[in-house]
Amino acid sequence: MKCVINRRAQFAASHRYWLPEWSEDENFRQFGQNARFPGHGHNYVLFVSLLGELDDYGMVQNLSEVKQAISREVTSQLDFSYLNDAWPEFQETLPTTENIARVIWQRLSPHLPLVKIQLFENPELWADYLGNGMEAYLTIGTHFSAAHRLAHPQLSDEDNFKIYGKCARANGHGHNYHLEVTVKGEIDPRTGMIVNLVTLHQAVEEYVVEPFDHTFLNKDIPYFAEVIPTAEHIAIHICHLLEQPIRELGAQLYKVKLIESPNNSCEVYSEQLASNSTAAPKSEGILMLV
């Protein structure tokens, strides 16, 4: 029987986004504050996922050996380092989150049966690398506060309360929504980026956060005049709003995850939504509710 196991590790390191062949203006235009000299630091959190058959001792891999391999090949070399100088790979391609994850895979794959490397630069920025050439996934997190009411316009108040409970109350209720946007694409061999992080944040802010923040969704967002603003429908709408802007940035929207509360979240995968030719207000596609 095959299983996936995960091992967590961490290291503290600094880095700088700066290309010597670019002017100072171009570096700051492309990388923003990440171009500041002499760099900045993070407490990186690393998750190493391994796939394998269970052995006679009930293990995919001896965790003590896994820990030693990660320490020897990665964390002992990167902890308290300046990443740009730590490994020769970062002389060629900048140590962005996604590129660090890719290089860690390369360093560990001769020693461990890897299936995924996930690297958190901070709680709202992380990358996933699955061993597929220069392709990687990058996730950014943000938030907005909004109110909504869940009620089907063709049903009576009594029926709406049976379906939606307190969420059907006439004056609505609010949430502090946490939004995670995942893009995928090829890592640029020089900048180390799937997409320019500055412009990605700007797109999410412009198309989602600014229009949605501090609104009553049913009344302030035209889409929800006829579509019930459940977490599922909100995530689907956000997916539609971001798909084209992210494509114009040179990446592909992969997933939108909307966390309505600590107990409720929803994930929408852009490719599945597109393959079903979803048109508002329909909601076909893959939804994952937690």
User: Does the active-site annotation cover 167?
Assistant: yes
Query: Three-class SS of residue 286?
Result: coil
Which candidate in 214, 226, 248, 284 is catalytic? 214
Rounded Cα distance between 107 and 102, Å, is: 9
Torsion of CA 127, 131, 135, 139, to 10 degrees: -20
157-179 burial code (b ≥16 CB/10 A, e <16): eeebeeebeebbeeebeebebbb
**Nearest one of 235, 191, 194, 245 to 212, comparing CA atoms:** 235
Q: Are 218 and 273 in contact (CB under 8 A)?
A: no
What DSSP string describes 24-74? HHHHHHHHGGGG-SS-EEEEEEEEEEEEEE--TTS-SS-HHHHHHHHIIII
Which candidate in 180, 260, 266, 267 is catalytic? 260
Which candidate in 167, 201, 205, 271 is catalytic? 167
Q: Are 220 and 276 in contact (CB under 8 A)?
A: no
Written as one letter, the residue type at 245 is P
User: Does the active-site annotation cover 214?
Assistant: yes
Q: What are the residue numbers of the active site?
A: 167, 214, 260
